[in-house]
Amino acid sequence: MQGQPHIQTGARVAPPAVSAAARRFGVLPMPNLAWTPEVARETAHLYEKVKQIIPPVEWPFHAPYVKAINALKKERNAVILAHNYQTPEIYNCVADVVGDSLQLAKLAAKSDADIIIQGGVHFMAETSKLLNPDKTVLIPDSRAGCSLAESITGADVRALRQRYPGVPVVAYVNTSADVKAEVDICCTSSNAVKVVESLGADTVIFLPDRFLAANVARQTKVKIIAWRGACEVHERFTADELKRYRADDPSITILAHPECPPEVVDVSDFAGSTAAMIDYVKAKKPRRVLMVTECSMADNVATETQGVEFVRPCNLCPHMKRITLPKILDSLVYLKEEVTIEPGLAARARRSVQRMIDLV
């Protein structure tokens, strides 16, 4: 039978993987993504918001996705929560809610949408799922990780508890649900000192960011035992590079995220969460600002603050940048990628997040 194609009878072809969410809500047809005069007209008001950041030649690539995503969000009763590090076209044109980790966690708790799409990294999507166990939470790319969250496991926390019996454990929200399930309370960069002091202990284990831990330790009498993790974006900034900017322009305003090393914070005029940095610029309107944080922050603040000049010695967070408009559209059409957490573990992790939310 030489030359005959080999046909394997009875062979089973695996059906395409359909997620539980897709079975619940159904898959929709992919919308037409052509750049047409109608798309240009319907998205013109959104381009106005980003025209200082996105050149006109790029808008035809974004606009069909922006239109399709905004239409499908309504059809699906979905909401997009976007962290301040998301790209300007996501932050300004499709997000329903933007903010720092604490704001997103609080708003996730209040959402009445059927579907939450997380514009951010995986631990943020897990936090949304913890606070919305009955809702469908999707992350457009589940590989969007975080060097802090990846630096520690639940088993590491159990080992710390054995080594320091009776010492309470505070976890930065940049941790997995597995870790949150083992700790006493969570914190974010905007409430870390308050959370540490709320425990009424002389000594507290603070994980996983050694630089945030060091910055907190300088603001409290509580003794801090730190884990050795670091943010791969913020650990790269150096005090020397900031001093050079300051020498070139002594009146420049330097804002740093507290995930930066303490010596970088020392050279800055202000250190705070991403939302606190945005509030600072909006309130004080400095002439020239240096944002010591992820690149998209300056772009996003610039769209909201005319007349402020931004200097961008920025580092990209490769995890945040995995989230794109095409992947958000895929999430809405195919309901992927669904975030699930084992219910027993989720109940323990939720307690740590909720305890923080109740405190602040």
- Residues in contact with ligand SF4 by CB under 6 A are 121, 146-148, 174, 231-233, 259, 294, 317, 319-320
Using CB under 6 A as the criterion, what x/- string covers residues 244-263 for binding ligand 13P?
Answer: -------------x-x----
DSSP state of 150: G
Q: How far is the CB of 206 from ligand SF4 (least distance, A)?
A: 15
Report the nearest approach of ligand 13P to the CB of residue 231 (Å): 5
Report the C-alpha dihedral over residues 140, 141, 147, 149, rounded to 10 degrees. Answer: 60
Tokens of 121: 């990294």
Helix (H) or strand (E) holding 298: helix 295-302
Out of 87, 101, 118, 352, name the contact with ligand 13P by CB under 6 A.
Answer: 101
**Which CB atom, from 149 or from 332, has the smaller least distance to ligand SF4?**
149
Q: What is the bridge-based pairing of β-strands 185-187 and 223-226? A: unpaired
Cis peptide before 58 (omega within 30 of 0): no
**Residue where the block lists tokens 């969410």:** 21
Closer by beta carbon to ligand SF4, 46 or else 121: 121
82 binds, among ligand SF4, ligand 13P, none (CB under 5 to 8 A by kind): none
- Lay out the site mask for ligand 13P across 18-57 (x = CB under 6 A, - = otherwise): ----------------------------------------
Q: Which does 147 bind (CB under 5 to 8 A by kind): ligand 13P, ligand SF4, none?
A: ligand SF4
Tell me which residue of 178, 149, 106, 130 sits closest to 347, measured CA to CA: 130
- Rule CB under 6 A: which of 104-163 touch ligand 13P? none
- Which of 147, 273, 300, 324: binder of ligand 13P (CB under 6 A)? 273
The one among 128, 151, 189, 296 contacting ligand 13P by CB under 6 A: 189
Rounded Cα–Cα distance for residues 176 and 56 (Å): 40
Cis before residue 208, ω within 30 degrees of 0? yes
Answer for which of 50, 78, 80, 84 binds ligand 13P (CB under 6 A) is 84
Give the integer Cα–Cα distance in Å for 94 and 75: 14
Q: Give the residue from 188, 179, 360 showing the smallest Cα distance to 257.
A: 188
Nearer to ligand SF4, 210 or 319 (CB): 319
Among candidate residues 255, 295, 247, the one with its CA nearest the CA of residue 273: 255
Which residues contribute to the site for ligand 13P (CB under 6 A)? 84, 100-101, 174, 188-189, 231, 257, 259, 273-274
